[in-house]
Amino acid sequence: LGRPFDTTLSLTRFIFTGGFERFPKLKMVCAHVGGALAMLPGRYGFGYELRKDMSFGPWEPDVMTRPPATYIKQLYFDTVCYHPPAVQCAIDTIGADHVVFGSDSPPVPITLVRAVDTVKQLKIPEADKQKIFGDTAAKLLGLAG
């Protein structure tokens, strides 16, 4: 359980400390469906609205120039979670064109079939599954024709 939570905390710190302000063109593929990030844009947005409220903050330094949800949409998430609803949440949050196939294989060889099945079980158009299974990664790596 630690890895998804570590992923969530690391990405949150990166966003809230101005990581995308310093590296605006950065493309980052995040493991474990981005941890819990796909479920947090509303909560982050609410906190962002209250950032100047002395009872809640203030945030120091206040380095974000736009709401946190806009930064989350710059990320790419892999599908390593083995739970189709979690992948669906990521798709609903950042779009199928920002989700790439992941398997944890190697080092865990038994996970490949499960990882493929996780994507196949999604109730999304086949074109979106094709993006996840390879088209998006090809674009990220400059291999798309």
Distance CA(97)–CA(136), nearest Å, equals 6
| Higher-confidence position of 109 and 21 | 21
Share above pLDDT 70 across residues of the chain, in percent, rounded to a whole number = 94
- pLDDT tens digits for 33-72? 999 999 999 999 998 888 877 676 666 678 889 999 999 9
Q: What is the pLDDT of residue 39?
A: 95
- pLDDT tens digits for 72-102? 999 999 999 889 999 999 999 999 999 999 9
List CB contacts of 127: < 8 A, sequence separation 6 or more: none
Domains of the chain by start residue, with CATH: 2-140 (3.20.20.140)
Q: Which residue has 């979690």 as its token pair?
A: 86
Q: What is the pLDDT of residue 58?
A: 65
Cβ neighbours around 106 below 10 Å, total: 8
Q: What is the pLDDT of residue 50?
A: 83
